[in-house]
Amino acid sequence: MDLLLVLTYTAICVTIFKVFKVPLNKWTVPTAVLGGVLLIGGLIFTMNYNHPYSEISREYFVTTPIVPTVSGKVIEVPVQGNSKLSEGDILFRIDPTPYKNKVASLSAQVFSAKEDQKRAKELAAKNFGSKRNLDIATAQLNNLEAQLATARYELDQTTVRAPTDGYATRVTLRPGMMGGNLPRTLVLVFGQQAGQYYIGWFGKDSLLRLETGHDA
């Protein structure tokens, strides 16, 4: 815009000097230059003050690196890159077989521990067993139940879902690949729908006319 104003003013001055045959001397040339500085400078200042603008702007997105909680072989990737997703939509699945087996194993151990605790209670009630044996059986049962809860949580984590509404990008994951739960093993990036921002850099004169609620 600045260059366009300068070129326009120069063209007008050249036209005036040629049409009206204005002589080029130490008075006319400095007058034209000084007039251009004052005129164009005033226009630019007025435009910047009344119509603030930014020459530098950026669009930012909030993204979430997707790293699976559990490790395993990927068996399904139903998501498409940059497609709109809702919270809870499936991004990919990890083979749940070893986690199902762990849940089954711990479930059996919990069942056995409950029976052991039951027998320990009966023996303690009849004074055929010590309270220590009952405490040990109870502690063993509580420990196995905690492990079972963790195993069920890990089984549920084999299905990785969208954390919020948004879209998936950098979807390079394919069935057969290994998904790891290490921070460096990034499998895809999820863009938050509500995480889009526009940032602009404004001069001090432009900021004088900016107020909260103005359209940009």
Model confidence pLDDT, tens digit, residues 89-103? 999 999 999 999 999
54 or 75: which leads in pLDDT: 75
Which tens digit of pLDDT belongs to each residue from 38-49? 887 777 777 766
Residues 123 and 170: their CA atoms lie apart, in Å, by 62
What's the pLDDT at 212?
79
pLDDT at 173 over 80: yes
Query: Among 48-57, 58-67, 107-116, 191-200, which stretch is predicted with the lowest mean pLDDT?
Result: 48-57
Question: What mean pLDDT comes out for the span 135-146?
Answer: 91
What's the pLDDT at 151?
95
Sign for the pseudo-dihedral over CA of 40, 42, 45, 46: negative
Residues 17 and 134: their CA atoms lie apart, in Å, by 111
List the one residue out of 96, 82, 79, 9 whose CA is nearest residue 44: 9
What's the pLDDT at 195?
65
What's the pLDDT at 185?
62
pTM of the model: 0.64
> Domain coordinates of the chain in residue numbers?
2-51, 60-194
pLDDT at 110 over 90: yes
176 or 46: which leads in pLDDT: 176
Q: Which residues contact 134 (CB under 8 A, 6 or more apart)?
A: 117, 120, 121, 123, 124
Which tens digit of pLDDT belongs to each residue from 16-26? 877 777 777 77
State in words which class domain 60-194 has. mainly beta
Tokens of 57: 């702007």
